[in-house]
Chains A and B, each alone.
Chain A
Amino acid sequence: MQSTTLILMLVFMSAAAFYFGRRRSLATVGGPGHGSALHSLPGYYGYYVAIWCAIPSLLILLIWLIIEPRLVVAMVIEGLPEAYRTLSEGEINLLVNNIQNLASGDAVSVEVDAALLEAASSFNAYIDRSRDLLAVFALGIAGLGGAIAWRGIHADLRARNRVESVVRWALVAASSIAVLTTIGIVLSVLFEALRFFQKVPITEFLFGLNWSPQTAIRADQVGSSGSFGAVPLFTGTLLITGIAMFVAVPVGLMTAIYLAEYSTRRVRAIAKPLLEVLAGIPTVVYGFFAALTVAPWIRRVGESLGLQVASESALAAGVVMGIMIIPLVSSLSDDAINAVPAAMRDGALGLGSTRSETMTKVILPAALPGIVGGILLAVSRAIGETMIVVMAAGLSANLTANPLEAVTTVTVQIVTLLVGDQEFDSAKTLAAFALGLMLFVVTLGLNVLGLSVVRKYREQYE
């Protein structure tokens, strides 16, 4: 039986369980008019029975589907001729792979002989039998669970509490998925990074000035000693982030000031959604805007001024990234400015301040912590941004402070290290994890700092 059919049947059974559970709860107290004699609303008895019907059998289904492949594979290998069973583990894996492909009708990488064909058909047979068994089992458990719960219904059964506790556990499970995933990612990055630091000393990684992660495949290869000094990446990241902030902070802040204090309601109603549109443009689009429009333009302008400009420059990537971050800065600054109580503004105006004096002498100082927090969040966004720099900043790990040269960033290097076929234990690949760990630590720190500044500041007024 197909698993989808099985699941549909389970759904149907649960619905039936709901109906019968609800009906029985009312029947035990003498009909629909006497629902108030029940501990819970009748519907809860329905859910109670439905839960007992569905959950145990879904658990069985899940466990079965986890165990099934191993079991079936083991049985298929058992049935292979003697010659095959002496193979090494790797060859067995390959063989099993082929058998499975053969069984499902996919392309196979070896010559097909009779033994293989037989193995494939027995594989299919085992699977079919297993599925039939599973169906019988799962439906049986569902029926049994539902029946027991149904019989157990009586007026004092605390059905609501039980259903709610199941719901609560479901919520806990759902929310822990995000947390557990995060922890899992952090741990895997951490362990891979530690493996990297066994191959390359952490001091070389943090303080080395030369980044060229090509390791030798053959011992006699030229120019591929592999050196993992990440300083050029850090400076590249800093340079681009700096340029981005140089664009985003003044523009974003002035936008926020204008929108919060000077604009009419109509301008605000138009400008705010537009800024949100800017925030919603995919970074790839910014990337080719940077690479195809801004970078050539900067190059042309630079050349007409007699400057040497690389066709992929830190300046182009940084400026475009700054534009991308403007909405973030402006909306967080706008929040901070709006959080300053109107009483401050009235107080300043009432003393005869002009609008700009009110702004610069009272409102901005009061909003400053919130604005700084917002800028920190924006910096962390800029450091983690990848697409724009991949497309516009280049790949060469130059140790330079000249914004007209090509530089590369931590994120770009992670991308290039992992793109393509790689062994997963070479220093080159593992370096990506070390870079990722750095990135994670720095952005996490900035986020925590930024958020705590923003939050503390919010509490300040009320």
Chain B
Amino acid sequence: MTTMTESITDNPPPQAPVPNDGRQRDRAEGIVLSEYPRQETELGGKTIGKISCENPFMVVEDVNVYYGDNHAIRNVSLEIAKKEVIALIGPSGCGKSTFLRCLNRMNDSIESARVTGKIMLDGQDIYAKEQDPVALRARVGMVFQKPNPFPKSVYDNVAYGPRIHGLAGDRAELDAIVHSSLERAGLLKEVKDRLDEPGTSLSGGQQQRLCIARTIAVNPEIILMDEPCSALDPIATARIEDLMDELCEDYAIVIVTHSMQQAARVSRRVAYFHLGLLVEVDETNKIFTNPQHKLTEDYITGRIG
């Protein structure tokens, strides 16, 4: 940490214009980063805290992501255990979504995106040539920021995954999967009699839980959630948070959130991203009570973001 304090004094005064387009972009988004010249984090480039954990299930090693010339994720390494909730926080544009999308190779569908480094899931490199991204995504499910049920019935939304992966032998098995998924997503009571109605006719919070049900219907090992509550009201948010508490008994959950409270409530560990760097990662209460890095501290006390 000494390098850090030194680097602050080494750096030009905060207001000095530094020709760096990366920083300008962030300033345009309203984040006062001019106080934190990039060299600071690059000099202390190594992540602070504990990137490793017991029984790692997913291991991310030295991952970089580029969108064309934009270096969106820089040398990030992180381990994720089974049955834990890890929250990714950081100012917008810092690469949380990009990082999340690396974990199930959703970046593949973005033409300009390029990923380097290694991501191991249960000992297998998910970016290996022989790895099929389609099969991978069945193991690493994803819930998006805006609820996105398909324009199909509630039933068909949940049955979609099991059908394409051939998880159910017959109609009764499919029914069972749909029911248990809805049940575990805490939605069954509300939609029991509305299974034939379009998924889009549900309320926003119900739609998001439908999307969660749809994801767990294919029985993934990890669930990625990209700001799953940002489009929801506080009550619907609370329901989803409760749900995460239950789901983490079976799944590892990686959640991107903008709400510090949410991160504090649901996660066991927190990872703080800044300009594509993983600045600090540690146990949740440690991050919130005793952050080691100045950037982390400033972010959680509301000075950036």
Partners in one complex: yes
Instruction: Report B-chain residues with C-beta under 8 Å of the C-beta of A5.
Output: none
Residues on B with C-beta less than 8 A from A352 are 134-138, 161, 164-165, 218
The residues of B that contact A2 with a CB separation of less than 8 Å are: none
Distance from B152 Cβ to chain A, minimum over Cβ atoms (Å): 7
Q: How many residues of B contact A (CB 8 A)?
A: 26
A351 contacts B111, C-beta separation under 8 Å = no
Query: Which one of A13-21, A357-365, A411-419 is at the B interface?
Result: A357-365
Chain A residue with minimal CB distance to B137?
Answer: A352
Task: Give A327-346 interface residues, CB cut-off 8 Å to B.
Answer: 341, 343-346
In chain B, residues 121-139, which have Cβ atoms closer than 8 Å to a Cβ of chain A? 134-138
Docked complex Cα distance between A282 and B215 (Å):
52
Tell me if A38 is interfacial: C-beta within 8 Å of chain B.
Answer: no
- Contact A365–B164 (Cβ < 8 Å): no
| Chain B residues with CB under 8 A of A271 | none
Give Cα A366 to B198, complex, Å.
12
Q: Are B150 and A265 in contact (CB under 8 A)?
A: no
Report whether A351 and B137 are in contact in the complex, using a CB–CB cutoff of 8 Å.
Answer: yes
- CB neighbours of A361 from chain B (8 A): 160, 164
Which of A343, A352, A354, A361 has the most chain B CB atoms inside 10 A of its CB? Answer: A352
Residues of A within 8 A of B161 (CB): 351-352
**Is A203 an interface position by the 8 A CB rule?**
no
Question: A362 near B137 (CB under 8 angstroms)?
Answer: no
B290 at the interface (CB under 8 A from A): no
A-side binding surface: helix, strand, loop or mixed? helix
CB atoms of A350 and B164 under 8 A apart: no
* A348 CB-CB contact with B under 8 Å: yes
State how many angstroms separate the Cβ of B101 from the closest Cβ of chain A: 9
- Quick check: is B142 within 8 A (CB to CB) of the other chain? yes
Is the Cβ of A343 less than 8 Å from the Cβ of B144?
Answer: yes
**B141 in contact with A351 (CB, 8 Å):** yes
Mark contacts of A40-54 with chain B using CB atoms, 8 A cut-off: 1 yes-contact digit, 0 otherwise.
000000000000000
Query: CB of A32 within 8 A of chain B?
Result: no
CB-nearest residue of chain A to B139 = A352
Residue of chain A at shortest CB distance from B136: A352
Contact B146 A353 (CB under 8 A): no
Chain B residues whose CB sits within 8 angstroms of the CB of A347 once the complex forms: 144, 148-150, 211, 214
A265 vs B109: C-alpha distance when bound (angstroms)? 13
Task: Specify which of A265, A345, A350, A366 lies most central, judged by the most chain B CB atoms within 10 Å of its CB.
Answer: A350
CB of B151 closer than 8 Å to a CB of A:
yes
CB–CB B218/A350 < 8 A: no
Say yes or no for A117: interface residue by CB 8 A criterion.
no
A357 to B150, CA, bound (A): 13
B22, chain A: closest CB distance, angstroms: 25
Assembled-state Cα–Cα distance A64/B104 (Å): 80
Given contacts A341-B148, A362-B150, A365-B151, contact A350 B137 (CB under 8 A): yes
Question: Once the chains bind, are B135 and A346 in contact (CB under 8 Å)?
Answer: no
| The one of B144, B146, B164 that contacts A357, using a Cβ cutoff of 8 Å | B164
CA A460 to CA B135, docked complex, whole Å: 32
Q: Is B106 an interface residue (CB 8 A)?
A: yes
A75 interface hit (Cβ, 8 Å): no
**Cα of A447 to Cα of B22 in the assembled complex, Å:** 51
Select the residue from A345, A347, A460 with max chain B CB neighbours within 10 A: A347
Query: A351–B214 contact, CB under 8 A?
Result: yes
B135, B137, B138, B165 — most chain A CB neighbours (10 Å): B137
| A365: chain B residues within 8 A (beta carbon) | 151-152
Q: List 28 A-B contacts (CB under 8 A).
A: A265-B111, A341-B148, A343-B144, A344-B148, A344-B150, A344-B151, A346-B144, A347-B211, A349-B109, A350-B104, A350-B137, A350-B144, A351-B138, A351-B164, A351-B214, A351-B218, A352-B135, A352-B164, A352-B165, A352-B218, A353-B134, A353-B164, A362-B150, A362-B160, A365-B151, A366-B150, A366-B151, A460-B151
> Could you list 15 further interchain pairs (A-B, Cβ under 8 angstroms) beyond the known A350-B137, A366-B151?
A344-B148, A344-B151, A346-B109, A346-B148, A347-B144, A347-B150, A351-B164, A351-B214, A352-B134, A352-B137, A352-B165, A353-B134, A354-B134, A365-B151, A460-B151
